[in-house]
């Protein structure tokens, strides 16, 4: 449960420190992994089963939350790889 004094800030992504070497190394590794033909195929598949998918109106709360969690993970991987390409 969200504490009232927190408001909606819990939706905000954590602050990123671009000078963090470990984070930059991880981003570069993700960029290399997904730059290969196999990596591109994997990302395409992940997008198809998460971002390009919608659930019907009869879907329950648990199914909606599960899909949103999957979408968040795929978008995080895409963001990480993009940051690794830019930071290279």
Q: Where are the domains of the chain?
A: 61-88
Residue 66 pLDDT: 96
Evaluate whether 34 touches 88 at the Cβ level (below 8 Å): no
Instruction: Tell me the pLDDT tens digit for each residue of 42-76.
Output: 999 999 999 999 999 999 999 999 999 999 999 99
CA–CA distances in Å: residue 10 to residues 2, 6, 18, 60, 68: 8, 7, 21, 24, 16
CA–CA distances in Å: residue 74 to residues 12, 21, 38: 18, 23, 16
Residue 56 pLDDT: 94
Evaluate whether 83 touches 27 at the Cβ level (below 8 Å): yes
Residue 20 pLDDT: 81
The conformation of residue 13, written as its DSSP 8-state character, comes to P
């Amino acid at each position: 449960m969200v504490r009232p004094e927190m408001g909606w800030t819990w939706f905000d992504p954590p602050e990123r420190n671009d000078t963090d070497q470990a984070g930059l190394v991880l981003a570069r590794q993700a960029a290399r992994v997904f730059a290969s033909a196999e990596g591109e195929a994997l990302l395409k598949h992940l997008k198809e089963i998460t971002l390009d998918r919608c659930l019907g109106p009869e879907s329950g709360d648990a199914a909606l939350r599960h899909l949103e969690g999957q979408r968040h993970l795929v978008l995080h991987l895409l963001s990480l790889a993009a940051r690794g390409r830019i930071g290279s």
